[in-house]
Amino acid sequence: MKFSLLRRLPPAWRRPLAVTGGLVALIWLVIVVAAPLLAPHDPLAQNLPRLTGPGAGHWFGTDELGRDVLSRVLYGARVSIPLALLLVAMSLLVGGVLGACAGFFGRWVDETVMRIADLVFAFPTVILAMVVAAALGASLQNAVLAVLVVSWPSYARVTRGLVMGLRNREFVLSGRLLGFSAWRSLRVDILPNVLGPLLVLATLDIGTATLLLSGLSFLGLGAKPPTAEWGAMVADGTQQFDKWWIGVFPGLAILTVVLAFNFLGDTLRDALDPGTARTIGAEKERVG
Amino acid sequence: MSPRWAPSKGTGGKGAGVEGGEGAGSGDGDRLVTARPLPGRRRLLARHPLARFLLRRTATAILLALGVTLVTFVLTNLVPGDPAAANLGQRAIGDPAIVAQFRHHYGLDKPLPVQYVTYLGNLLHGDLGESQQSHQSVLTDLSTAVPATLELAGAAIVVSLIVGVAFGVVAALHRDRLTDQLLRVISLLGVSVPTFWLALLAFYIFFYRLGWAPGSGRLDPGMTAPPHVTGLYTVDAALAGQWPVFWSAVGHLALPALVLTAYTVGLLTRFTRSAVLEVLNQDYVRAARAKGLPARTVLFQYVLRAALVPVITVAGLAFGALLSGTVLVESIFAWPGLGAYAYRSATTLDLPAVMGVGLVVGLVYLTVNLAVDVLYGVIDPRVRVQ
């Protein structure tokens, strides 16, 4: 049964990495939905014995305020994962639309968009995100905005490159000659051809987004204290060095989520043709 | 809005758009992204001597510096945050006289364009302004923070290059076999692990549990810094012959540097692997093998030499990213570097300091890129100036 199911998947998806990544991502998505059912305690309730190590009753131990770490890690998934997905979707939309316009219309549109992208690239990513987050005030919402500011240019660049390659292809030109408006041409002829590579880039970017977001929270520029957010929980762990479980488990949660999406994205990239894969690969190096 | 599908413009226009645009706009950013020399660049190198090339680089540097200052300036002034509120205490903020004096002292009471022009004017004299937090000149602050981070990032990139290239070559030579799969998982682990968490873990295990690593900071407590020459404690101590200080500095450097290598090793492994695989398929490699050259000669003199070009580009990029990306690790190891300084400045909206950091990182970025381009010529004769 299991084998026949596996065999139905496209070859790229059958690789162990993709299967592992997919499974782990799926488990986390289930946790996002079902956290209230799975968590043994209220993630914010401070009614347990403080700083007890992992053991029966509290598998992941309790923190300095007497909260159950396991419950907080499970609830943390509801913060980090949807935000990372939202962030990537927003970068995809903003970067994709701007990049498509730049690539399709060229001239001053292209110049304007790409020079703004260059400007963002010129500035160190982490510091720019820090400045934006600090200037807007520390909150999760602003952290997402900060990361959006630094992440859209990658999408714009890739989209622009792809659209420029497609713009003069025969099927696009014949559409235009039939009287398609620019908008219709972009939507009907070009969009389906750029969506695949962009989605791969987005999948690879979910990991980066999660890391950046939790990093900002770790620095105190994201989630506010009572919120169960993984980066902030690791920061709590630094306050209690000898109580390793406070920081280790949320960090493991970040690692598994990022790893799962990177496994998936990596496999997907291999399934693309080499030229496109290289564009995306190179773009990813930029983000680091 | 008119479509550009006229055949006469068509392919020619597109080609020029792709190459000319990237070459002219900002050679660096774009070339780095494609991670291989563009034809446009090669043409330029062939047509002009080194001087022209350096001149263009300097122009790019100035533009970049302007861009960095402009971005910071616009961002920090458009958003609702108030530097006065961020820097003054609760009580002082209630006193309009103190706020007004603060704003006057840092020129915040002048119109924005005036502030910006003043800043640029001072920049020409090498004056980066005064930090609103430390009340020292930003240049003084940076002169201690930058070497600390350079030391950390430098150590990390050297280790990463050695390990990453070795991993990548091994992976490529064992393509799709178990070793390759294993290394792939390792490199993905490296790029997926949150550095701040890895730093915490390393600190807990090697310092708290095992006691192998010394604590935080750059030197053991009670030890004085070696006489300032380069600002890199390891180098300075070695130059002064202060061996206990040297070993202490090395010990303090080791753990944070190793934590930082996780990401770059992952990156370089993957990049080296694909670069080597690409070269392995080339005819000249096949020819070298066919004529019976020893495997080692083929690997080092035919394959690696060509494959290293993109790898070095990525390493340069990674080094630039390390400079600003160390903030998370620096905060755990209490490393008084650029990241920690940037964090402090960003959270207090210390404008001059943030711009100073941006400028320094940008400049190091450009210098590294320049070095990378010169290295290209050394490694790959095809891109040498004719």
Tell me the per-residue pLDDT of B45-73, one tens digit each, with 9 for 90 and over.
445 556 666 777 677 767 777 777 777 77
Query: In this complex, is the C-beta atom of A258 within 8 Å of any C-beta atom belonging to chain B?
Result: yes
Query: In this complex, is the C-beta atom of B142 within 8 Å of any C-beta atom belonging to chain A?
Result: no
3-class DSSP assignment, residue B292: coil
Q: Which pLDDT belongs to residue A74?
A: 87
8 Å CB contact of B208 and A241: yes
3-class DSSP assignment, residue B329: helix
Average pLDDT over residues A260-265: 88
Contact A143, A213 (CB under 8 A): yes
Alpha-carbon distance B155 to B148, whole Å? Answer: 11
On the question of pLDDT at B14 being above 50, the answer is no
Residues belonging to chain A: 288
Separation of CA A128 from chain center: 18
8 Å CB contact of B274 and A281: yes
Query: In this complex, is the C-beta atom of B114 within 8 Å of any C-beta atom belonging to chain A?
Result: no
Assign residue B226 a region: left if phi > 0, alpha if psi is -120 to 50, beta otherwise?
Answer: beta
- What is the CB-side half-sphere exposure of residue B45 using CA atoms within 13 A? 17
Under 8 Å CB pairs connecting chains A and B tally to 200
At CA B118, angle to CA B129 and CA A111, rounded to 5?
A: 105
Proportion of chain B above pLDDT 70, given as a percent: 77
Alpha-carbon distance B66 to B58, whole Å? Answer: 12
The token pair that represents A266 in the structure block = 């990596």
Q: How confident is the model at residue B85 (pLDDT cuts 50, 70, 90)?
A: low
Q: Which pLDDT belongs to residue B5?
A: 35
Q: How confident is the model at residue A257 (pLDDT cuts 50, 70, 90)?
A: very high
Taking CA atoms, what residue in A is nearest to B71? A119
The token pair that represents B150 in the structure block = 């350079």
Residues 43-82 of A with CB under 8 A from B: none
DSSP, res B6: -
> Nearest-CA neighbor of B18 among B4, B39, B35?
B39
CATH no., domain B138-347: 1.10.3720.10
Phi first, then psi: give them for residue B206, nearest 5 degrees: -85, -25
Contacts of B80 in chain A (CB under 8 A): 135-137
On the question of pLDDT at B128 being above 60, the answer is yes
Contacts of A251 in chain B (CB under 8 A): 194, 197-198, 200-201
Q: Which pLDDT belongs to residue B92?
A: 67
Contact A283, A265 (CB under 8 A): no
Q: Which amino acid is at A48?
A: L
Q: Which pLDDT belongs to residue B120?
A: 80
Can you tell me the ipTM of this complex?
0.82
On the question of pLDDT at A96 being above 80, the answer is yes
State the nearest Cα–Cα gap between B243 and chain A, in angstroms.
Answer: 31
Q: How confident is the model at residue B297 (pLDDT cuts 50, 70, 90)?
A: confident
Query: In this complex, is the C-beta atom of B32 within 8 Å of any C-beta atom belonging to chain A?
Result: yes
Residues 163-182 of B with CB under 8 A from A: 181
Alpha-carbon distance B5 to B2, whole Å? Answer: 9
8 Å CB contact of A207 and B192: yes
DSSP assignment string, B209-245? IS--S--SSSS-TTPPPPP-SSS-HHHHHHHHT-HHH
Q: How confident is the model at residue B223 (pLDDT cuts 50, 70, 90)?
A: confident
On the question of pLDDT at B338 being above 90, the answer is no
Query: In this complex, is the C-beta atom of B317 within 8 Å of any C-beta atom belonging to chain A?
Result: yes
State the nearest Cα–Cα gap between B128 and chain A, in angstroms.
Answer: 17
For testing the chain B interface, which of A107, A131, A230, A244 should be mutated: the one with the most B CBs within 10 Å?
A: A131
Distances (CA, A) of B203 to A15, A73, A116, A155, A261: 36, 22, 40, 37, 27
Q: How confident is the model at residue B167 (pLDDT cuts 50, 70, 90)?
A: very high
On the question of pLDDT at A259 being above 60, the answer is yes
Residue A219 has its nearest CB partner, among B181, B201, B331, at: B331
8 Å CB contact of B192 and A214: no
CATH 1.10.3720.10 in chain B, residue ranges = 138-347
At CA B343, angle to CA B342 and CA B344, rounded to 5?
A: 95
8 Å CB contact of A123 and B21: no
Query: In this complex, is the C-beta atom of B20 within 8 Å of any C-beta atom belonging to chain A?
Result: no
At CA B273, angle to CA B268 and CA B274, rounded to 5?
A: 105
Residue A137 has its nearest CB partner, among B75, B81, B191, at: B81
Residues 211-250 of A with CB under 8 A from B: 211, 214-215, 218-221, 231, 234-235, 237-238, 241-242, 244, 247-248, 250
Residue A145, burial from CB neighbour count under 10 angstroms (0-12, 13-18, 19+): middle
8 Å CB contact of A241 and B203: yes
State the nearest Cα–Cα gap between B78 and chain A, in angstroms.
Answer: 9
